[in-house]
Amino acid sequence: MPAPEHEQPLPRIQIGAPAPMIDCGRYPAKRTVGDELTVGADIFRDGHDVLGAIVRYRAPGARAWREAPMRRVDAHVDGDRWEGSFVVDCGGRWSWTIEAWTDAFATWRDELRRKVAAGQSELSGELSEGAVLLERATQRAQRTPEHKLIARAAKTLADPAKPADARCEAALDMRLLEAVQRHPDRGDATTLERRLQVDVDRERARFGSWYELFPRSWGGLTGVADQVPELAELGFDVLYLPPVHPIGATNRKGASGALVAAAGDPGSPWAIGDESGGHTALHPQLGSFEDFDALVATANDHGIEIALDFAIQCSADHPWLTEHPEWFHRRPDGTLKYAENPPKTYQDIYNVNFDTDDWRALWEALLDVVRFWASRGVTIFRVDNPHTKPLAFWEWLIAKTREEHPDVLFLAEAFTRAAMMRQLAKVGFNQSYTYFTWKSSRHELTEYVTELASSGMQDYFRPNFFVNTPDILTDELQHGGPPKFASRLVLGATLSPTYGIYSGFESFERVAAQPGSEEYQSSEKYEIKQRSLDGPLLALISRINAIRRDNPALQQLDNIRFLDAENDALIAYAKRHAGNTIIVVVTLDPANAQEGIVVVPFELGLPPVFTVSDLLSGESFDWRMGRNFVRLDPYRVAHLLRVSP
């Protein structure tokens, strides 16, 4: 075998399985401002040498790198997993890497310690080696607080006149080891082959309470602005508006989606565009741009953000169909192809053709739409059906948008295959709709939320647990009655840091268009309703939103631990964060009382006996590690228990 061709020996230190790392570093992980990012890796080398390691990190726009120490986290089983952490204190894209080296002094010290413990007395050779290592450390520690301690120890080890016991005692002083390790010799340092990144968003990307409404059912934009103070009192952080643009007349859908609209039918807001404008125009019946700006200002004054629907589709009357006919699908006979999702058909909507030869202009036009509304104060875009558009387009558009508007967030409304939902999150979407809407049993909920919180998805996929939408009225809401609405509210708001409701939920709207359908009877998508904030569930909504804001444990996803309730009609889980512990128990049976034993495991780190306060009822109970009796019924669907400090 020929000799190696490398000019220098290859590194002997191995750094593997760094985390968080998404698709081998192709995409950044996600965090929010103020989070402590914990990074880890398997770090080892041949032999028995002691290693040292740090995580090096750099904030967005910074030139200098900072360092944080790493420690072995499984040393008790002689493992090689190391972890370190740092706080991401500003938004943007951070960079980080790991550097590891052989700690020659710690290696020598460990060998000396074992020889002393074994009773070996002739250690002059070993002490001479230590003296050399300390002399080198003395040079590295020049003009530092540790210099004097290291220099004194080096002198002691090099003095043959001193007793061997005294020299060994000086060498094994723990303060000396700590001092030398502050000034390590990194001569054989190895780093990760590529730097990794983490996108840091503002807090709203992780935590928030959403309310969705159709402005036309609330008296237009000024009528919506009048509701903002009450929405703020109810604890909502985000007000989400479906498309507010002009609606086409050609093939306009009628009431309940009828193919022929009657006189006065307003049409679907998702059939965007008429002769007055398209995606950058306002429906005249909703108000003026002055009204829109006033709504944004009022919302901001009350701590509420405006989220706007971004739907990449056009009515037959949208200006783009005449200005850019090449942007749309045409069949061989020249007819336009309207949108379909068989068996659903959308005769009033035409999708754009991302395969057009003029795709660059199309991309730029869509970016201009987002820029337009972001410049008017829209900070969140709920994107309609992003999974039917190219992933490369989304990666480009989101990156370009955030160059100019770094606080803008994107929510993916993609009820589709799991792989596509995950990939949309990877390419840049800050939040995602989920399958929660259809997860109803204890097993389904436990399995799904565990996947979201601890499978690796938690590093890039942020769920938004909408309990209903204008398109989705689930079977359990149709037939479960008010208790099921209350329990689903508690589940959505406590399982996920971000959740939302569509107006009508608070009034228990639950009549389907027909048996087996998830469409609402007399759907608001096709007609104007007379809405007001007076539903009987609002008191519970307000209380839960206040509880979420007051308890940091409910503002996190990856801290959830499911508890055994010994009854499949009950689901129980605990969340802990920053000294705050919440235990939630919810009934999944809307019709009957259910009893069970909730088992609190010792791994939660709670005292043997502790007091819990029910944040919904105000009652207090004595709980303990192990088995605790609970009883819930349709009039009391949940316990939200805060563990007393």
Per-residue HEC secondary structure of 479-541 comes to HHHHHHHHHHHHHHHHHCCEEEEECCHHHCCCCECCCCCCCECCCCCCCCCCCCCCCCCHHHH
284-311 pLDDT, tens digit each = 999 999 999 999 999 999 999 999 999 9
The two tokens of residue 378 are 């829209």
Active site residue 384: yes
Q: Is the peptide bond before 20 cis (omega within 30 degrees of 0)?
A: yes
Whether the pLDDT of residue 179 is over 80: the answer is: yes
Phi then psi for residue 335, to 5 deg, are -75, 150
Whether the pLDDT of residue 583 is over 90: the answer is: yes
The two tokens of residue 26 are 């192709």
Q: Which helix (H) or strand (E) holds 596?
A: strand 594-600
On average, the pLDDT of the chain sits at 95
Q: Catalytic pick from 99, 199, 348, 413?
A: 413
Rounded to two decimals, the pTM is 0.94
CA atoms within 13 A on the CB side of 212: 23
Query: CA dist 306 to 39, 104, 318, 405, 520, Å?
Result: 34, 58, 25, 15, 25
SS3 content of the chain, % helix, strand, coil (to 5): 35, 30, 40
Q: Catalytic pick from 146, 291, 348, 384?
A: 384
Phi then psi for residue 145, to 5 deg, are -60, -25
Helix, strand, or coil (residue 160): coil
**Domains of the chain with CATH codes:** 13-102+192-200 (2.60.40.10), 105-181 (1.20.58.80), 560-643 (2.60.40.1180)
Overall average pLDDT of the 588-613 stretch: 96
- What sign results for the dihedral spanned by CA atoms 152, 158, 161, 162? positive
Contacts of 317 (CB under 8 A, 6+ apart): 248, 249, 250, 273, 274, 275
Report residue 331's pLDDT band, with 50, 70 and 90 as the boundaries: confident
pLDDT given at position 102: 96
Determine contact, residues 425/398, Cβ cutoff 8 Å.
no
pLDDT given at position 338: 80
- What is the DSSP code (8-state) at residue 332? T
Overall average pLDDT of the 389-403 stretch: 98
pLDDT given at position 77: 59
Active site residue 199: no
pLDDT given at position 336: 79
The residue with tokens 């080890």 is 157
Helix, strand, or coil (residue 333): coil
354-380 pLDDT, tens digit each = 999 999 999 999 999 999 999 999 999
Among 1-5, 82-86, 501-505, 534-538, the least confident range: 1-5
The CA-based dihedral angle spanning residues 319, 324, 330, 333, taken in that order and rounded to the nearest 10 degrees: 90
Whether the pLDDT of residue 344 is over 90: the answer is: no
Torsional class of 626: left (φ above 0), alpha (ψ -120 to 50), beta (otherwise): left
Determine contact, residues 520/214, Cβ cutoff 8 Å.
no
Separation between Cα atoms, residue 266 and residue 252, nearest integer Å: 8
Helix, strand, or coil (residue 594): strand
Q: Is the peptide bond before 483 cis (omega within 30 degrees of 0)?
A: no
- What sign results for the dihedral spanned by CA atoms 400, 405, 406, 412? negative
